């Protein structure tokens, strides 16, 4: 990791840049795939699956036999872990449901809001070198709690055309309606436009690499809603002289191993702590099965020595990390000053990986600075909210003059007339 000492505030924007591809080239490539899938359906999906995943598929949909077989393909220990995570995630998300309340804004005027589940949702589950079974829980559980009528799942196949047994098992456990062995841009395009096999959906959820993220961005401009732009994983750790270097190194590596385009940051006011973490990183990295991937991600990453905690929090809020770990002695005090982050982890015994799997919070979070404006996936993500109003004759008399005056100020006479004609019919003209 690169070590930077006391950067001037004017340099922060450059210093905190994420790893990027050439987006103009990327967008052209992704747009072409989307257009071919939209025009040629299953044939294009199969063609791109052969090209990118090196497998020819006879069927895009995972069969019921394959789904049921998953029960015997994973260990009892993993099933127990899945059950525990399932319980915690479900418990946390069920508590987010708020019941509608009727508000009387003035005498005779009643307004309320009704949450309605999105009818058809598509879940994208990254596969590749590390199938993200936990993401099925994070997206499938709130979708089912919300009551979405149709929930489909797309995930890349392996070179044998198979889907991870754990993904099949969890999808069955949650009651996901259909599973498709399709990944990458072609999966996003299929869920957006529909094909002969894959139905179109109203909203697409799920993280992915920069190609998937670009595909979500493009289809959101054209045909379908998305949860957010969730790209390569990122983590920032704020530490001081009292922090545990081994714990910090383990957290940095847990994110770095996601992919070579991941980024991790360590911010501290202690140079000695930074030196100790650097040494610990070398020790722990050498033992990791994915050490080559993690090492490449560390090349995108930085340890930054700052003059004060005030500066550190300012930099964190500028960066808006997907994941933020606070392990300073005064972490509770600092946490109150955080305004831009996807998910925050407090204290020595709250590793980011707990949130990835089983604490209960959702791990589908805004990356690339989108935490300035976006929340992570939550129950509200699976609802649309419809407002209702009911106005009595007396209520319209109460607010009618305000409505007519404002409408006429906007030169929208028909708006004013719609109130005036009713007031006259009531004998109030």
Active site residues: 322-323
| DSSP-derived 3-state class of residue 383 | strand
388: helix, strand or coil = strand
CA separation for the pair 121, 224 (Å, rounded): 10
Closest CA to 372 of 7, 98, 16: 16
Helix (H) or strand (E) holding 304: strand 302-305
- β-strands 383-391, 109-117: how paired? antiparallel
The strand pair at 234-239 and 323-326 is best described as: parallel
Q: Quick one: which of 168, 193, 166, 165 has its CA closest to 180?
A: 168
Q: Strands (DSSP E) along 228-374, which ranges?
A: 234-239, 263-268, 302-305, 323-326, 343-346
Taking a C-beta distance cutoff of 8 angstroms, is the pair 328, 345 a contact?
no
DSSP state of 306: -
Quickly count: other Cβ atoms within 10 Å of residue 325's Cβ.
Answer: 28
> What is the chain's length?
429
d(CA 62, CA 322): 32
Judged by DSSP in three states, 123 sits in strand
Q: How far apart are CA 228 and CA 377, in angstroms?
A: 8
User: Checking phi first, is residue 126 left (phi over 0); if not, alpha (psi -120 to 50) or beta?
Assistant: beta
Report the 10 Å Cβ neighbour count for 140: 25
């Amino acid at each position: 990791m690169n070590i930077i000492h006391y950067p001037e505030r004017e340099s922060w924007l450059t210093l905190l840049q994420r790893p990027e591809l050439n987006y103009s080239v990327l967008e052209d490539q992704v747009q072409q795939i989307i257009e071919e899938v939209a025009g040629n359906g299953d044939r294009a999906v199969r063609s791109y699956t052969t090209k990118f995943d090196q497998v020819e598929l006879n069927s895009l949909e995972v069969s019921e036999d394959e789904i049921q077989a998953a029960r015997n393909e994973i260990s009892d220990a993993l099933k127990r872990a899945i059950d525990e995570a399932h319980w915690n995630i479900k418990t946390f998300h069920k508590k987010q449901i708020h019941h509608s309340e009727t508000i009387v804004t003035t005498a005779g005027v009643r307004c309320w809001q009704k949450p309605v589940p999105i009818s058809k949702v598509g879940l994208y589950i990254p596969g590749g070198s590390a199938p993200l079974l936990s993401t099925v829980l994070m997206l499938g559980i709130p979708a089912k709690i919300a009551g979405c009528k149709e929930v489909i799942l797309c995930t890349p196949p392996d070179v044998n055309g198979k889907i991870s047994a754990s993904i099949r098992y969890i999808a069955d456990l949650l009651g996901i309606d259909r599973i498709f062995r399709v990944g990458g841009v072609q999966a996003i395009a299929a869920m957006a436009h529909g094909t002969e096999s894959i139905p179109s959906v109203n909203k697409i959820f799920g993280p992915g690499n920069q190609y998937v993220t670009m595909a979500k961005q493009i289809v959101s401009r054209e045909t379908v809603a998305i949860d957010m732009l969730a790209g390569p994983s990122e983590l920032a750790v704020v530490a001081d002289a009292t922090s545990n270097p081994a714990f910090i190194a383990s957290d940095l590596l847990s994110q770095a191993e996601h992919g070579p385009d991941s980024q991790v940051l360590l911010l501290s006011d202690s140079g000695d702590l930074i030196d100790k973490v650097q040494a610990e990183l070398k020790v722990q990295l050498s033992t990791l099965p994915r050490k080559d991937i993690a090492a490449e991600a560390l090349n995108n990453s930085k340890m930054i020595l700052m003059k004060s905690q005030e500066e550190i929090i300012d930099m964190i809020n500028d960066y808006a990390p997907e994941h933020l770990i606070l392990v300073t002695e005064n972490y509770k005090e600092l946490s109150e000053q955080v305004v831009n982050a996807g998910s925050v982890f407090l204290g020595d015994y709250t590793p980011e990986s707990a949130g990835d799997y089983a604490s209960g919070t959702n791990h589908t979070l805004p990356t690339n600075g989108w935490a300035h404006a976006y929340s992570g996936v939550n129950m509200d993500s699976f609802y649309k909210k419809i407002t209702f109003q009911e106005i009595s004759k007396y209520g319209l008399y109460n607010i009618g003059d305000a409505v007519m005056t404002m409408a006429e100020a906007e030169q929208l006479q028909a708006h004013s007339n719609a109130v005036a004609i009713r007031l006259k019919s009531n004998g109030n003209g």
